[in-house]
Amino acid sequence: MKAHIQLKVRPGAKQTAFTGRLDDIWKLDVSSPPVDGKANEEIIRFLAELCGTPRSALRIVSGAGSPRKLIEIAGMDNETLARVILESHGSRPHTGSASKRKS
């Protein structure tokens, strides 16, 4: 059993965190710079910790030198992975432009 996740990575962010989803691609901000594989190492570390799996269970299938990556996680299915990611988001505050009306 292996899960796959497609990522659109933005390195050099303040913190490593998922920032949303566009169709089947998850957007991930990464705190490490894209130098000497540091961002890729941070992605593997972050996902392994999030999923509760050893780093050796994860591998970058494609996109090691690109912002778009396909990651494979052994020992987990796609449904479980999606649930883990969604649960990591917690509740988000509403950022719409509607404001309270004065009486």
pLDDT digit string (tens) for 38-73? 999 999 999 999 999 999 999 999 999 999 999 999
Cα–Cα distance for residue pair 77/36, rounded to 1 Å = 30
Q: Are 8 and 68 in contact (CB under 8 A)?
A: yes
Q: Does residue 99 lie in a domain region?
A: no
pLDDT at position 44: 97
**What is the CB neighbour count within 10 angstroms for residue 37?**
13
pLDDT at position 88: 83
Number of domains in the chain: 1
pLDDT band at 102 (very low <50, low <70, confident <90, very high): very low
pLDDT band at 90 (very low <50, low <70, confident <90, very high): low
Whether pLDDT at 8 is above 70: yes
Q: Does residue 102 lie in a domain region?
A: no
pLDDT at position 75: 95
pLDDT at position 78: 94
What CATH number corresponds to the domain at position 26?
3.30.1200.10
Lowest average pLDDT, out of 14-23, 39-48, 72-81, 89-98, goes to 89-98
Instruction: Enumerate the H helices of 1-103 as residue ranges.
Output: 38-51, 78-89
Residue 20, domain extent: 2-89
Q: Does residue 16 lie in a domain region?
A: yes
